[in-house]
A = this chain, B = another copy of it.
Amino acid sequence: METTWTEQLRTAGLRVTRPRLSVLGVLAEHPHVDADTIATAARTVHPSISPQAVYGVLKALVGSGIARRIEPAGGPALYELRVGDNHHHLVCRECGLIADVDCVVGQAPCLQPSDAAGFAVDEAEVVFWGLCAGCQVARRTHVHGTNSAIEEGVTA
């Protein structure tokens, strides 16, 4: 898996650079991260990387279909490497945790709204909002404090 990054970049017509490999490394470890977290994490392996380089890399990756950008309401954009399999997301209202959901309907699922109003639909984006397991427990225990750590744990 790891060794294909170089090939993937080359195939996409992109040069293989340190910043790009660093960002890909971070994305592989953390399924859903924002640009700032990527920058911080990437710096442990490539200290001189700049925030703008991260934005540039991400734009290139998204543009060539290697990564995907998701923008949950009320937060910064997140990036993930899982592309092309039309999956959706569960977002925790409390802590921001994100989990993947495979599409309920099959391959091209929600692509048919009841009334398309003349639109040529090419993508259906589905976001499920709710409370993750951890935050449900925290709320039941009446520990109403905000455990707002945005961590990645549900990878399965």
Q: What is the size, in residues, of chain A's interface with B at 8 Å between Cβ atoms?
A: 41
CA A130 to CA B118, docked complex, whole Å = 10
Pick from B71, B99, B113, B129: contact of A73, CB under 8 Å = B71
Contact indicator B119/A113 (Cβ below 8 Å): no
Of the listed stretches A26-34, A38-46, A51-59, A120-128, name the one at the interface; the rest are far from the partner chain: A120-128
So how many copies of this chain end up in the complex? Answer: 2
- Residues of A near any B CB (own CB < 8 A): 69-71, 73-74, 77, 88, 90, 92, 99, 101-104, 110-133, 136, 154, 156
Inter-chain CA distance A71–B73, complex, in Å, is 6
Report the minimum CB–CB distance from A111 to chain B (whole Å). 8
Contacting residues, chain B, for A130 (C-beta < 8 A): 116, 119-123
Q: Are A122 and B113 in contact (CB under 8 A)?
A: no
Q: Among A120, A131, A133, A156, which residue has the most Cβ atoms of chain B within 10 A?
A: A120
Contact A128 B132 (CB under 8 A): no
Contact B90 A117 (CB under 8 A): yes
Taking CB atoms, residues of chain B closer than 8 Å to A111 are 128
A92 touches B119 (CB 8 A): yes
